[in-house]
Structure 1
Amino acid sequence: MPTLSRSQAEDILYQEASLLDDRRYSEWTSMLTEDAIYWIPCNGDGGDPKQTISLVYDDVPKLRDRIARLASGIAHAQSPPSITKRLISNVQIEDSAESIAAVCSAFIMYELRRGRERVFAGRYEHRMRFEDGRWKIAAKKAVLANNDEVIDNLTFIV
């Protein structure tokens, strides 16, 4: 069984960032396991997302609904859509065993929408699982550096 290398993890994270920046969401969701979770906690690292408030806590069906709204043109909070660019760095394998791995990285995400620029920074925590002959994302947690501040219109995928 395979073990995830840092180089492989970087390639996956860079590909994910590129797909999200290009709004190629169906390709992005193909990188996810069917039981994947996408979580953005608020107020620090977050506790149990089923017991505390989160900015986002989505499973794959909820993500597909979110993506359908973004693609429909009726998501007024993303009309026109944000232009984003993600920079990923400091990729580290936190834990790796056969067919599973925990990967941490730092990110900066730039957003431009209607002449307004915003920058988000934080830490990604990905859980990867080897499935169907490739590494897939089983969980993505985006811990924003400012997640204890007021964040308006976080309607894109971080």
Structure 2
Amino acid sequence: MNTLARLTPAAHAAPSLDTLRDFVEHEADLLDSRRFDDWLDLYSDDAVYWVPAAQDQADWISHVSLYYDEKHTMKTRVARLKHPMIHCQDPPSTTVRVLSNFGLEAADGDRFRVRSKFIMLEDRPGADRRVYGGRYLHTLRLDGAHLKIVQKCVRLTNCDQSFPQLTQPF
């Protein structure tokens, strides 16, 4: 079975862990390929993209976050990343994400919480290499026959440190 077929589970069937893993890996590939519009299409209209700024941060309401984006804000970030005059991405970053240790945290009807670990390298000519690592927690929902991201939480191992400009989604 080809990868794209595995990203769309059969109607009325719960997706396997392999299908969920392939979907999350596909998201990472889109980001590494700078296909930001396609990446954005993976998110539901009610999606939240969240990167806590503290190790034990329980929510995005009681503490400032590195990222807290709803779909509208994500669209704005993507528009900025694609703008030809974005100075902090001139030249553009090259990224690679390596994901592992996938597991199904919970399944409830049409929702699935998938955990994984990641390392992301970001290189830009004339700038220092940046290395990020941590844990992903994706909440995915079946939308008809397709999976959509309802929430992505990125728990960086060094989230409480100082960062230069963060421009690339994790």
Structure 1's consecutive aligned runs of 4 or more residues displaced over 6 angstroms after TM superposition are none
Corresponding residue of 2:5: none
Which consecutive unaligned segments of at least 5 residues does structure 1 have?
A: none
Unaligned runs of 5+ in 2: 1-11
Which has more radius of gyration? Answer: 2
Match of 1:42 among 20, 44, 53: 53
Whether 1:132 and 2:140 are equivalent positions in the alignment is no
Q: Which has the higher contact order (CA 8 A, sep 6+)?
A: 1
The share of aligned pairs that are identical, in percent, is 37
Give the strand-richer structure, 1 or 2. Answer: 1
The count of residues paired between Structure 1 and Structure 2 equals: 158
Match of 1:56 in 2: 67
In structure 2, distance between residues paired with 1:97 and 1:46: 24
Listed one character per residue, the Cα deviations across residues 59-83 of structure 1 (whole Å, up to 9, x for unaligned) are: 0110000000111123211221110
TM-score (norm 1): 0.95
What are the residue-to-residue correspondences of 1:93-132 with 2, within 5 Å? 93-115=104-126, 116-132=128-144
Partner of 2:165: 153
Q: 72-81 or 101-110: which moved more?
A: 72-81
Tell me the C-alpha RMSD between the 2 structures: 1.2
Kindly provide the amino acid, as one letter, of the partner of residue 65 in structure 2. Answer: S
Query: How many Å separate the matches in 1 of 2:89 and 2:46?
Result: 27
Alpha-carbon contact 1:2-1:130 (below 8 Å) kept: no
Counterpart selection for 1:65 from 61, 76, 86: 76
